[in-house]
Structure 1
Amino acid sequence: MTDHSAPARAPDNRPYILIASVLLLFVSAGGMYLIVVALKEVAQEFGWPRAVPSLAFSLQFVGSGFGGILMGWVLDRLGMGAPALIGTVMISVGAVLVSGIDAAWQLYLIYGVMFGLAGQGSLAAPAMANIARWYDRRRGMAVGIVSSGQALAGIVWPPIFGMFMEATGWRDMFFWFGVLCLCTMLPLCLLVRRKPPGLQGSVVAEGTSRVREKDKPQCPPMTPNGIQFSLCGAMIGCCVAMALPLGHMVAFATDAGLPVDQATLVLSLILMAAFASRVVLVGLLSDRLGGLRALFVFSAVQGITLALLTTVSEFWALCAVGVLFGLGYGGVFPVYTVAIRDHLPLRQIGWRTGVIFLFGAIGMALGGWMGGYLFDVTGSYTLPFLIGAAFNMGNLAVVAALIARLRPRAPQPMQA
């Protein structure tokens, strides 16, 4: 006999949201590596200095930063469905349009607006902020897994792009990637459109609000705006350092005498290590140490290995240092989301994440452009890599100050 007195249990949609979010970031992040692989070929075809495609690479981060604020606001009010759909259409159409460019301003416009503002800005920060709203326990693990989609893109796409470009040229590479994005990402938008149960309706559930109050330190020594301001400054420092190898590793390795296939393999190994870091280390460290302390560890590894890259040129050495760099770099972005969720108001997590990630985008843009500009001036990547390591030291100083001012909170038992 069926018992009708027991309330029906709502289905757990978290695994579907998690998987769909990973796949969205995996496919869409491929667009970031298109210009990385084709940087030298695009510059040579048009007779441009490398600073031109490097600036396009940078503009997507600037655009994504501003887009992340707008789409964070949309996420807080409408859920993830609208940002996911906008990002899907913009990246798909943008890739197709790049295949037909004949002027630098066209490349800048497409990368700044379509790949950046309305593309990555609609997906990267909103997806991580969204999954942080779905999970209370093992939040660091969930955020790390979702962000691993970007790292997985770096493992898979650069070798494919390299082979495709050598076989058909960079224009066809962009065109067919755009077609692939549209076909694969549209169905995923339907899965991520759901809202977390605690946020369905006009107000946040009271139980959720009470739990979040327990997460806050007693008599916090900093206001939310003060914490956010500090995280913005820290984000610039680590992202300038991060962007240099990501944007210039293929060019850096081929300048050292490596063929394109080995150069793209070095980049893939970096991102393979970043993938492993996000899947395993982000949850392991942030769920035990907290977001800020985990951030300090990952950033320290990133800065040290970036400086080491200036001392090596052999294939095996680049692979070894690159893997260590990837382990550090891979954890940096996700643990910012964990730190934001740890110390800032839940109902504002979307737009606050967008603001902080905007400063990360500025740092990525500055680092990517600086690498190309200083290479054109000096003929070497040594100076930009060392300047990036100095920026990373600034990040460590800010994070250390935050750790000192914000008392560690004891982990609270929380129902998933």
Structure 2
Amino acid sequence: MASPPLVDSRASWIIATAALCCLGMTFGAPLISTVGLKAIAGEMGGARSVPALGGSLAWLGSAVGGVMMGRLAHRFGVRWTVMAGSVSVCLGLFISTLGEPWLLYIGHGVFIGFLGMGGLNAPLYVYVSQWFERRRGSALALLSSGSYIAGVVWPLVFEHTISTWGWRATMMGYGVLEAAVVLMLASRFLRPAADTSVRTAEHKGGERPTVFGLRPNTAFVMLAGAAFLCCIPMAMPQSHLVALCSDRGLPAAVGAAMLSVLLAAAFISRQAWGLVADRIGGLRTALISSVMQAAAVSGYLHVTEQFGLFTVSIAFGLGFSALIPAYVLAVREAFPAREAYWRVPSLMLMSGCGMAVGGWLAGYLYDQYASYDPAFLTGVLSNVANLALLGTLVVLQVRWMRRAVA
């Protein structure tokens, strides 16, 4: 078999773009429950926590499944986990239309999340990072924009198809489209990767007794905890913005457009964040982005008018967009490359758990208080705790770098 092209080549960017398109299709699946939240809730007892929990289970399933799928991709190749995952997403959407809350939970949590998104998300992060060295931050920023491309393209489409044909027909039609596109891309572009940094680390033994002066697993737990805490507020606007706009007297179409604008801002700014991360590193990038996210989430507590909500949503998109690729880059920078296949999925397990908790918690607190204010206040407090962990790691990193230079 011929050797794969060198990293950081034109072929590397083609492969990263194909992986981006796969994620863009896959992440469209749980957005149907977000856009159709009120319609689905209306047919399942009226509680918004039911479809909200379905979306949260998709994120949770993706996070848990990514750990297992990362190992399978390491053993058998990412192409097979991606292809199996795309078929599973299609099956999960069909199961979710069968009319009972528990079937919605199984369809989203097991098939869309654990087997579907779990087979694509974390394995593709590891896979794409193996094709880059100097521009790894930019490549990860591009790949992680798959959810934003989905958010820009699909909410307006889903709002129209749900209002015209219903949420069940939307799920079934999209499932078939998603499987067809991802199967084609995976079979054509996802070739075996050669990571020179992995080979170098193996030749050197990958020796790294400490990370910023801490035991490696201690530093990793702190980083994973920060990812969990920052993803709780990250999930709230993305999961409930359409419903929030409706509660504040705005049409569902405006809410869907606002979600698209939010994710469009996130997509555009994430590419800039990738360049920043290439210069200052993943950990410092995550800290700056987290500060901006906390400020934007607090805006949802005070703004009620359409223009103000659009402004806050754009600010939120600009702020949080760096976080996930920055965390992945921080793992690749701080730990041996040969450990990426399990450390990256484990980190994304924690971030996915945070997304799951945030999306469900916002729906639960709304059902309790008939307002989203308690949810966003909880999100701000979670973000403050995240900043404490990230700030500690950055301080330790700076001290460690100074001692290394001295």
**Shorter-chain TM-score: which interval?**
over 0.9
Q: How does 1:113-262 map to 2 (within 5 A)?
A: 113-198=110-195, 204-206=198-200, 220-262=212-254
How far off its partner does 1:210 sit?
Answer: 5.3
Aligned counterparts of 2:186 and 2:204: Cα–Cα separation in 1:
31
How far off its partner does 1:218 sit?
Answer: 8.5
Aligned counterparts of 1:185 and 1:121: Cα–Cα separation in 2:
14
Moved over 6 A (4+): 216-219
SS at match of 1:134: coil
Candidates 384, 390, 405, aligned match of 1:399: 390
SS at match of 2:46: coil
Distance 1:155 1:409, change over 3 A: farther
Q: How does 1:273-288 map to 2 (within 5 A)?
A: 273-281=265-273, 283-288=274-279
Candidates 11, 14, 19, aligned match of 2:12: 14
Q: Deviations over 1:264-299 (max 9, x none)?
A: 011111100110122222x12211111000000111
* TM score, norm. by length of structure 1: 0.90
User: What percent of counterpart residues are identical?
Assistant: 35
Aligned length: 397
Candidates 92, 95, 115, aligned match of 1:94: 92
Q: Deviations over 1:186-222 (max 9, x none)?
A: 01112453222247xxx95347755987xx7988402
Q: Deviations over 1:12-34 (max 9, x none)?
A: 53122111111001111101211
Q: Deviations over 1:319-361 (max 9, x none)?
A: 1110010011211111111101110111111211111111111
The aligned residue for residue 290 of structure 1 is: 281
Distance 1:116 1:253, change over 3 A: same
- Mapped contact 1:293–1:403 kept (Cα < 8 A): yes
Candidates 303, 318, 321, aligned match of 2:294: 303
The aligned residue for residue 315 of structure 1 is: 306
- Do structure 1's residue 62 and structure 2's residue 60 form an aligned pair? yes
Distance 1:48 1:138, change over 3 A: same
Aligned counterparts of 2:198 and 2:384: Cα–Cα separation in 1:
39
* TM score, norm. by length of structure 2: 0.93
Does 1 or 2 have the higher relative contact order (CA < 8 Å, sep 6+)? 1
Q: How does 1:30-45 map to 2 (within 5 A)?
A: 30-45=28-43
Aligned counterparts of 2:315 and 2:3: Cα–Cα separation in 1:
48
Aligned counterparts of 1:102 and 1:26: Cα–Cα separation in 2:
27
- Mapped contact 1:65–1:121 kept (Cα < 8 A): yes
- Mapped contact 2:231–2:358 kept (Cα < 8 A): yes
Distance 1:212 1:136, change over 3 A: farther
Distance 1:144 1:52, change over 3 A: same
> Is 286-295 or 46-55 further displaced after alignment?
46-55
Residue identity matched to 2:75:
R
> For structure 2, which runs of at least 5 residues remain unmatched after alignment?
none
- CA RMSD of the aligned region, Å? 2.2
Aligned counterparts of 1:154 and 1:226: Cα–Cα separation in 2:
35
Aligned counterparts of 2:228 and 2:396: Cα–Cα separation in 1:
20
Candidates 364, 379, 386, aligned match of 1:373: 364
The aligned residue for residue 77 of structure 1 is: 75
Aligned counterparts of 1:346 and 1:78: Cα–Cα separation in 2:
18
